């Protein structure tokens, strides 16, 4: 098993290109130990970036993460998010403090605005700067920001310090490649791909299963390997199934050839014109 490759954030921090998501975790208290154990397995396999949010199970997912990282906080890179309805200057700080309590940690490594809402970006960025100065977060970013939103952010005082844009990106959702990805790449802003296997809906596609059979791996590994083949992109698949987690981890060891990538490109066509950023 090879070491997972890393992506360098603007801060200089290196994070694994393959991490773990937690969307839909924490909804059922009876499953929390199982979910935390799944995250622990992922950490043991090198997927030590964990993405969560105050929205997920109304904070329940953050509590699952707290259980998973107990005793190994320093070896895990924790990402969480503030809801746009909380993203005023004071509201962002309060939301972060509540997330810190649920996560049972003193600092969040990367704190994101979950999507753009009604509060001025100036307010949210100012709150992020205050949180960094107080040591409660190490860096900040955004999620679900299309190119127009990124340009607006770039024009805000301090907005150019954005560390990441987390977006929906996978073989079926290639719209970001037209404009958003080049824009971010030109500014060395990494992208974080959520739902990188389309919540499992991609996995029966014959192009994926065919390549998986040829390479003696899984369709999930091929779909994730395609995402990871793009420079500056971090994939955060979610799973609480140990078999699926091990399957996801195979992607970091996979070498897709140009022929494989061309076959996937033909099977999943990139849009020719810019399309609005999609969300789930």
Q: Quick one: pLDDT at residue 1?
A: 75
Q: What is the pTM of this model?
A: 0.97
Question: Contact 53/81 with Cβ under 8 angstroms?
Answer: yes
- The two beta strands, 14-16 and 6-8, are antiparallel
Q: What is the pLDDT of residues 159-178, one digit of tens each?
A: 999 999 999 999 999 999 99
DSSP helix/strand/coil, 81 = strand
Q: What is the pLDDT of residues 128-137, one digit of tens each?
A: 999 999 999 9
Write out the two tokens for 49: 């970036």
Taking residues 201-225, report their average pLDDT.
96
Catalytic hit among 56, 119, 169, 194: 56
Residue 56 annotated as catalytic: yes
Taking the C-alpha atoms of residue 273 and residue 91, their distance in angstroms, rounded to an integer, is 38
Taking residues 176-193, report their average pLDDT.
97
114 belongs to an annotated ligand binding site = yes
Q: What is the pLDDT of residues 75-123, one digit of tens each?
A: 999 999 999 999 999 999 999 999 999 999 999 999 999 999 999 999 9
Question: Contact 179/147 with Cβ under 8 angstroms?
Answer: yes
* Nearest by Cα to 18 from 4, 35, 36: 4
Q: Quick one: pLDDT at residue 136?
A: 98
Taking the C-alpha atoms of residue 226 and residue 231, their distance in angstroms, rounded to an integer, is 11
Give the chain's domains with CATH numbers. 12-200+232-240 (3.20.20.100)
* Nearest by Cα to 128 from 104, 159, 150: 159
């Amino acid at each position: 098993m090879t070491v997972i490759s890393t992506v360098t954030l603007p801060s200089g921090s290196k994070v694994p290109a393959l991490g773990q998501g937690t969307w839909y975790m924490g909804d059922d208290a009876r499953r929390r130990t199982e979910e935390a154990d799944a995250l622990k397995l992922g950490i043991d396999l090198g997927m030590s970036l964990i993405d969560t949010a105050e929205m997920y199970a109304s904070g329940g997912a953050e509590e699952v993460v707290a259980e998973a990282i107990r005793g190994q906080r320093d070896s895990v890179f924790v990402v969480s998010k503030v809801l746009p309805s909380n993203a005023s200057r004071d509201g962002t700080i309060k939301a972060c403090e509540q997330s810190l309590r649920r996560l049972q940690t003193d600092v969040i490594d990367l704190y994101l605005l979950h999507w753009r809402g009604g509060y001025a970006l100036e307010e949210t960025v100012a709150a992020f700067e205050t949180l960094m100065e107080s040591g409660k977060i190490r860096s900040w970013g955004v999620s679900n920001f299309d190119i127009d939103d990124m340009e607006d952010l770039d024009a805000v005082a301090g907005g150019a310090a954005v560390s990441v844009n987390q977006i929906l990106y996978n073989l079926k959702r290639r719209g970001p490649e037209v404009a958003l990805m080049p824009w971010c790449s030109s500014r060395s802003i990494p992208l974080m791909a959520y739902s990188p296997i389309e919540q499992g809906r991609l996995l029966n596609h014959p192009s994926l299963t065919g390549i998986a059979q040829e390479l003696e791996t899984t369709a999930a590994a091929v779909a994730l390997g395609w995402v990871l083949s793009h420079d500056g992109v971090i994939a955060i698949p979610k799973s609480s199934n140990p078999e699926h987690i091990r399957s996801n981890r195979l992607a970091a060891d996979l070498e897709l050839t140009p022929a494989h990538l061309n076959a996937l490109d033909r099977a999943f066509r990139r849009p020719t014109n810019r399309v609005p950023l999609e969300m789930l």
